[in-house]
Structures are given as structure tokens and as C-alpha cells.
Amino acid sequence: MATTAFDFSTHGPARQAAQEAPVIAEGRKRHKKRKNGNVQKQILARCAGQTPACEAFVQTLCSGDAPCVAAVTPCCEPLQTCDFASFVTCFRAATL
């Protein structure tokens, strides 16, 4: 035995109510708790860890030449705060 759904929108008072009712579609809201504070701390810690590697790179790049090391080493400081644009700008200016 087949059953069919009754369509209220085509019969009597239900039809009138269906036509007058505002149509509102709302999506399901999902609120996920994100731990951005921990992620930011991890990122900054990783960036701060780049400074010693940068200073070692400068020593290798300059082959121990004191004026070269003095000119390029300050460029490693922006890496502590993940400011890579300032690092690149400083590095390019110091090595040209």
C-alpha cells in the first residue's frame, strides 16, 4: 500500500496560513572553541627560535668578517616577532 504525504499548502486554511507565513531559513550555528592563544604562543616561540639560526647563518655568510657581521646581525631581531618583511628588507639593504 503506497502512502503519499499530504500537502497542506494546497488545501483550505492551511494553504492560506502557508502563504502568509514568512519563509525564514536559518542555518545551524556551530560554535567551536578555538585555542588561538595557544597557537599564537607556539608560533611566537617558533619565531623566536629562528634568531640563533639566523645569527649562525650571518656568521657563515660573512665568513667571520666583523663589519659584515655587525651590519647584518641586527636584521635577525625582527624574526623574534615573526616580522619576516622587516627581516627581508633589512637583510637586502645590509647585503647590497
List Cβ neighbours of 62 (8 Å cut-off, separation of 6 or more). 68, 69, 72
- Tens digit of each residue's pLDDT (9 = 90 or more) over 30-86: 666 666 668 888 888 888 888 999 999 999 999 989 999 999 999 999 999 899 999
Q: What is the pLDDT, as a whole number, of residue 7? A: 55
List Cβ neighbours of 71 (8 Å cut-off, separation of 6 or more). 94
Whole-model pTM: value is 0.56
What letter represents residue 48's amino acid?
A
- All cell numbers assigned to 39: 597557537
90 vs 48, residue with greater confidence? 90
pLDDT at 1 over 60: no
Residue 21 DSSP symbol? S
Q: How far apart (Å, rounded) are the C-alpha atoms in residues 93 and 91?
A: 5
Q: How far apart (Å, rounded) are the C-alpha atoms in residues 42 and 28?
A: 32
